[in-house]
Amino acid sequence: MSHPHPELSLPPALQAGALRIVALGGLGEVGRNMAVLEYDGRLLVIDCGVLFPEDNQPGVDLILPDFDYIKDRLDDIEAIILTHGHEDHIGAVPYLLRLRRDIPLVGSQLTLAFISAKLKEHRIAPVTRVVKEDETVAFGPFSCEFVAVNHSIPDALAVAVTTGAGTVLHTGDFKMDQLPLDGRVTDLRAFARLGEKGVDLFMVDSTNAEVPGFVTPEVEIGPVLDSVFGASDKRIIVASFSSHVHRVQQVLNAAHNHGRRVALVGRSMVRNMGIAAELGYLKVPDGVLIDLKKVDSLRDDEIVLMCTGSQGEPMAALSRMANGDHKVSVGHGDTVILASSLIPGNENAVFRIINGLTRLGARVVHGGNAKVHVSGHASAGELIYCYNILRPKNVMPVHGEVRHLVANGALAVKTGVPADRVVLAEDGVVVDLVDGKASVVGAVPCGYVYVDGSSVGELTDAELKDRQILGEEGFISLFAVVDSATGKVIAGPHILARGFAEDDAVFEDVRPQVVQALEDSIAGGATDVHQLQQVMRRVVGRWVSNRLRRRPMIVPVVVEA
């Protein structure tokens, strides 16, 4: 198998007749999915999503793909293909369209409806092209055939991209649920047909490659929800992704069966479900949906609240409920259902929510104690089926952490794909398809781009590290005045500490050491203020490390008099 290496250099110029693939996100992580295909001087983008921050990224709202690789070639982009409407596949589109607003967006009806509503908030009117399964459309030198795939959101599509270099089949996110709620199965007949014609590179979802067997059908969740509803005699709060139309449908059905009314909580939930209902993807039983403002007029056993926050997002409705910072209060006897699986990296945040809600007296039902959610991604058994149906010449696992990509590659080898035809790449690694063989040819810079409030890309890793230090190790400011003529410290050092359990008096022990070090440095010929500030930093830093076992941020100030 081909593995990326840090020492990879920039790729050579693309050979005539070859196809280049560069993932700018989604390889080595679950999120910010984005792949750029290049052929004959033109570019095709597949997906453009966001990654949600982890605990060690304080203050960050979103993480975007790194657009630097294409920012000087925006006019070469033929289109952005969007495989489905989840945030980790469409969330970064507004930020790319800020660079060039008329890049055509291509996707299914629901996918484009979701992204168009999001773009309206960014005051961007997109150029869109609705496509359906079994349709083939050319975008420059890229002939794109769209294939129906089943996922945890309706209207998901795989795309087979054919150029003079061969055919690339990109699955997007998919599974092979044989009993989907909307009756729309993954089109294995189309996969087989493509396999007969020849798939030169299979870019395949890896998220559940470590999970044996097959994903449980969505229809099995309905009876479980119905049972939980039947056992609840107070309010029910269900948290899910704001785009999970299938799960919301099941909640509406269960509520209808038990004589409850449903109020949608959260702007994105209200917006997305409104779109889904208007387009016919969500079937709302008569009289079930009500406005949140009318909830207080109903008894507790007549209410279901459908909200966001199943991944522990700090500003989402459920997190704020758990913290007592939402107009909806959670009380003793209420039932809270987390109807989603854990995204890797979100475990601690979700467990904090569960503990907080339990402390308030709620019964919390989640994937660990009830079958209230099934994954939207193909497990190992389903992936093996696909490899056997397609018989691809080359395989490039996508969408997953490194362990998922490696597990997926191993499945491909088991089905007969030669090990040297399985390309394991991470973000920024450049893969060329030349004469039917895919191989790593280099790498391009591809870092995290942070959205922090209104700033995009201005927050650096160094500044993020500073935030971590401030949050974990504390902060010390030092101020001293020195007499430049005598070389004596005539005021200070004043020491102000924040984030320490110890009283400020503990720093009295280090003051004489700072004074002595400053005066010794001046006597030794040090006259530059910056040098003297570094002397203070070193003395206090060493003392705090030895005495308090901390490594705080230290800001020294020296003034000459």
Kindly list the structural domains of the chain, giving each domain's residue range(s) and its CATH number in brackets, ordered by start: 19-213+375-442 (3.60.15.10), 218-365 (3.40.50.10710), 462-560 (3.10.20.580)
Helix (H, G, I), strand (E, B) or coil at 526: coil
SS3 29: strand
373 annotated as belonging to a binding site for a ligand: yes
User: Could you tell me the two tokens for 375?
Assistant: 């994954």
Rounded to whole angstroms, how far apart are CA atoms 136 and 190?
12
Q: Is 434 annotated as a binding residue?
A: no
147 annotated as a binding-site residue: no
What are the φ and ψ backbone dihedral angles of 236, each rounded to 5 degrees? -120, 130
Q: Which residues pair with 556 in a beta bridge?
A: 478
What Cα–Cα distance (Å) separates residue 372 from each residue in 142, 338, 350, 485?
Answer: 41, 8, 15, 76
pLDDT at residue 6, as a whole number: 67
CB atoms within 10 A of CB 558: 22
- Whole-number CA gyration radius for the chain: 28
CA–CA dist 201, 167 (Å, integer):
7
Burial track 387-426 (b if 16+ CB lie within 10 A, e otherwise): bebbebbbbbbbbbbbebbbbbbbbbbebebeeebbbbbb
> Structure tokens of 170?
């990109």
What are the start-end ranges of the E strands in 474-552? 475-482, 489-498
**How far apart are the C-alpha atoms of 518 and 406, rounded to whole Å?**
56
Can you give the pLDDT at residue 448?
Answer: 84
- Amino acid present at 165: A
Please report the beta strands in 92-223, taking only residues with DSSP state E, as ranges in sequence order: 105-107, 128-130, 136-139, 142-148, 157-163, 166-170, 201-205
Q: Is 376 annotated as a binding residue?
A: yes
pLDDT of residue 530: 76
Report CA 15 to chain centroid distance, whole Å: 34
Residue 356 to residue 324: CA distance in whole angstroms: 9
Residue 331, pLDDT score: 82
CB of 456 within 8 A of CB of 94?
no
State the Cα–Cα distance between residues 363 and 365, nearest whole angstrom: 7
β 157-163/166-170 pair status: antiparallel
**268 assigned to a ligand binding site:** no
Closest CA to 432 of 422, 442, 424: 442
Q: Rounded to an integer, what distance in angstroms lies between the CA atom of residue 413 and that of residue 397?
A: 12
Task: Work out the angle at residue 180's Cα, subtended by the Cα atoms of residues 80 and 235, and round it to the nearest 5 degrees.
Answer: 100
Q: What is the pLDDT of residue 469?
A: 56
Find the helix or strand (DSSP H, E) in which 246 lies.
helix 245-257
**What's the confidence (pLDDT) of residue 1?**
46
* Structure confidence at residue 344 (pLDDT): 61
- From first to last of the 561 residues of the chain, give the pLDDT tens digit: 444 456 788 999 999 999 999 999 999 888 899 999 999 999 999 999 998 766 555 556 678 899 999 999 999 999 999 999 999 999 999 999 999 999 999 999 999 999 999 999 889 999 999 999 999 999 999 999 999 999 989 999 999 999 999 999 999 999 999 999 889 999 999 999 999 999 999 999 999 999 999 988 989 888 999 999 999 989 898 988 888 899 999 999 999 999 999 999 888 889 999 999 999 999 999 989 998 888 888 898 899 999 887 776 666 778 778 777 777 788 888 898 888 766 666 677 788 888 888 888 888 888 777 778 888 899 999 999 999 999 999 999 999 999 999 999 999 999 999 999 999 999 999 999 999 999 999 999 888 887 765 556 555 666 556 555 555 567 778 888 877 777 777 787 888 777 665 666 777 778 888 887 877 777 777 667 777 878 888 888 888 777 777 777 778 888 877
- Measured CA to CA, the distance from residue 367 to residue 350 in angstroms comes to 11
In 3D space, the residue among 286, 279, 251 whose CA is nearest the CA of residue 265 turns out to be: 251
In angstroms, the first-to-last Cα distance of the chain is: 66
Main-chain dihedrals φ then ψ at residue 472, nearest 5 degrees: -105, -35
CA-CA distance, 79 to 93, in Å (whole number)? 12
